[in-house]
A and B are shown apart, each in its own frame.
Chain A
C-alpha cells in the first residue's frame, strides 16, 4: 500500500479543501438534558435517546473514524472547522459524521470500531473512538450513577463469537465515565419501543448495518434472542462484488430510493433485490430454526406481531418481502402481521431509554 502514504503537505492541502458540515452536538444543547439515557452502539451509528418534556429525542453520530498524521497546521484546520477529533500516538482521529467526508476526500473508506455488531478485534483504538463519540453526544453525568441503558446484540448463531467481551468492555467504559450502565438486548429494545400496545408481546427485529437482532418477547419476558452477523453492509458488499462496483457506491444507491417491489431497471437494482431477499429469507429461516430447537419456545394460542426496525428495514418493500418469506416458513406460532417501526433508525435507542427509565424508578 505504498502509494497510499502521502506526505503531510499533501494531506494538509487536501483537508483544507474539505467543507465540513458538522452535525456535532453543541454544548448548549447538551446542557438541557439530564436523566436516564438510552444508547444504541451500532455498527453504523451511535444513537442516544433521552426524554425531553416527556417525549424522547434522539441524536446520532456515525460510528466511524479516520486517522491522519498529526501536525500543527492540520490541528488548526480541524478546530477551525469544528471537526471532532482526538490525538493519540502521533495521529489525529477524526470521528463521527465528519470522518466520512475525510475518507471520501482521500478516496478510501472510514474505519469502524464495531465490525458486524461486535467490538472489532482489528481496531485497537475502537473503544477510544466510541468513548469520544459518547462524550460528544452526552455531557458527563450530573450525579454519579445516572442510568445509561445500552443495547447489546444477542449471541450470533452464525459463528462462535460471544457478546460477553463486547458487553463488558462497553460497561467498563460507561462505568469509568460515571454512569450506571445497564445492558439490554437490541431485539428486546425494539419490542419495548414498539409493542406497548400489544403488552410487549411479539418479535422485535432490528436490521442494522452489521447484523440483524431478533428477540421474541411474551408479556415483556424475553423468551429467546439471537443475532445473525449479516445486515445492510453484507448487501452492499455482495452486490458490489456481483456487479463489480465499490460497496460504498452500492450503499449510496441503496439508500437513495430503492424500491424492492418494482421491476429492477438495471443490474445493480436486480442484485440489490436478490441480496435483500436472501438476507430476509436468512432471517426468517434462522427464526424458524431457533424456534424449532428451543425448549423454552412456548405454545402460543394467539398470533403475535413482528416489528422490523433499523436502517436496513427502511427500504420500500421490506415488509412485503418479509411477509412473503414468512409464508414459506414453518413457524410454530402464528404471526398476526408485519410492520415497520415508526422511527426505524432510532427504535433501539428509544427502547433502551424505556428500559433506563424503568430502571430508575
Chain B
C-alpha cells in the first residue's frame, strides 16, 4: 500500500467502521456458536454468557449425531450446492458468451427471454415442477434439486456474465482465432479467466439461498437418504417443543461448509493477472 496516499486518521476511521460492521455481522453467528455448547437451562438463563465449567454441555451435538444420519444430510447439501453452482456457472457462462459474442437472429429476444426469469420466482411453478419430477421419476433424488436450482440460478447468471463478457477485448479473442485456437479454447482459456470476478460474484449470490433452501428439499426430495441439512435440522423444531441444543448445534455445523466455499470464491474476486493484457 502506498503510504503517501493514506493519512492515519482516515485509515483508523476506515478500519473502525469495518470492524464495527464485522462485529455486528458476526454477532448472531457468535451467539449460535456459544449457545450450542451450553446446556438447555444455561441457554435460557444467560443467552449471552460464554459456556463455563457449569454450563458446558455437548448434549446438542450428541443428539444431532444420534438422531438421523447427519453426515449423509451434510453430504447431500454439499453435493446439491456444489453441483448446482457448477452447472449454473458452466451453462450461464456459455449462454452469456453466445449472447455477447455471436450476432445471430433473435439474439436480443433470446437475451430478454433468459433474463425474464430474474423477475419470476421459480416457486410459482412448484406444482408443475413436482408433476414433472414425478413423471420423470426424479422425485426423491438429488438430481431433482440440482436441476431446479440450476434453473433458478441461470437467469441472473446469464444476465451478469453477458454484461461482463461484452467487456472482454475483441482483439484478444481475435488474436486467439488468428493463432488457431478453437472457439471452445477461446472461451475456456481466454474469456473465462478474465470474467472470473463476475463468476465468483454469481457463485456467492447463488450459494447461500441454495444451501439454506427448505422449500424444494421438502417437496421434491424429503426421503431420508436425500434429505439436505436444512431439512434434516427441522426434526428438532416441533410445533410444541423445540430441541434448542440440537438446533443450535446443527446450525453451527451447517455454517462451516458455506464459510469454506465462500472463502474459495471470494479469493477469486481479487483480480490478479488480468491487468496488462490489453491497454
A and B pair up: no
